[in-house]
Chains A and B, each alone.
Chain A
């Protein structure tokens, strides 16, 4: 493995760890299933990276093969969980389907490995990774209205992820030109290595930025909804108190009613409504 690849893999592991920290943090705050998918995705992607690095260190062929096999198993699964996390914002994904697909993703390459060998598993991994990444691009179009509504202002970050995918795919395919099975790992071409890993860096960072931005947008939206809900309810209560006092003054036949007390109620209602507006503006 070229030194530049090892260094890039190491950096990628660090960036993916950042993604894991962010996702786990959001999971503890929101308890959303989305962040379970993201966290699993990042963990598997980190492991895939570490194992790829270990495969470069070892000199024993069999151990290298085992490491490569593990990398080929973890790669597609990590992409699958990250795509599940991204799509769970706008599509209801059944937990059982996720489990079933995960098992298939684990067993299918093992069957290929024991029946044909490592080379075909590598090819399967490449194809699945490409398909998974393309799904990030394609899936929103199936439920575009819901996607647009749920993603809100974070949509520009999603488009940037798609744009980075558009750049990454041709570079990745070009890097496989000389070696269909090992692809980027065995590449010695610095231009290909730099461009491929740069696009992966950008894509990974954009996914993290997107997750942070979207969580911030969702939280702000929820805060505004709560503020609106409670200020509306308090506003209605104030209206009832205010109008009752107003009406009482108008319909009361008695000269002895303490109008100053009713005026006080009205004045305090006005003051309270101003405070409600201040709460709404927070």
Chain B
């Protein structure tokens, strides 16, 4: 069975966003938006009619970090599914504590990412 998820990618590195987008599209998922910092992600989430099933969230970003953005998104919608993808494993426990459903440490392989997304859908 093919599972298609609506995904919001949040990462300050344009190349990573681009590669994730290519892979996820290849797997049939729909990228409903891309954000390059926490503030942009929050604005997109608030304003978009198309609510994402899953948000892929980086941590260290300009304007607003991943933890802060996650807190604010979960305050709007506590059921929002957020997967942290960060090179900073020191924030792993904190990310899970505030409500992220998973934490993947960079560099991640696409098979793992795909499996995690399918498990959450």
A residues touching B (Cβ–Cβ < 8 Å)? Answer: 228-229, 231-232, 234-236, 238-244, 246-247, 250-251, 266, 269-270, 273, 276-277, 280
Interface of A is mostly: helix
For residue A214, give the distance in angstroms from its CB to the closest CB of chain B: 23
What string of 1s and 0s marks CB contacts (under 8 Å) between B19-34 and chain A? 1101100100000000
What string of 1s and 0s marks CB contacts (under 8 Å) between B88-121 and chain A? 1110000000000000011111100000000000
B residues touching A (Cβ–Cβ < 8 Å)? Answer: 13, 15-16, 19-20, 22-23, 26, 60, 86-90, 105-110
Complex Cα–Cα for A244 and B90 (A): 26
Q: A247-B19, A250-B23 are in contact. Are A234 and B87 (CB under 8 A)?
A: yes
The answer to whether B109 and A266 have CB atoms under 8 Å apart is: yes
Q: A228-B88, A243-B19, A250-B26 are in contact. Are A236 and B110 (CB under 8 A)?
A: no
User: In this complex, what residue of B is CB-closest to A236?
Assistant: B13
The answer to whether B26 and A238 have CB atoms under 8 Å apart is: no
Q: A243-B16, A243-B110, A250-B110 are in contact. Are A232 and B23 (CB under 8 A)?
A: no
For residue A28, give the distance in angstroms from its CB to the closest CB of chain B: 32
Complex Cα–Cα for A266 and B106 (A): 12
Residues of B within 8 A of A266 (CB): 109
For residue A14, give the distance in angstroms from its CB to the closest CB of chain B: 43
Complex Cα–Cα for A114 and B112 (A): 84
Complex Cα–Cα for A238 and B106 (A): 8
Complex Cα–Cα for A170 and B86 (A): 55
**Residue among A229, A231, A235, A239 with most chain B CB within 10 A:** A239
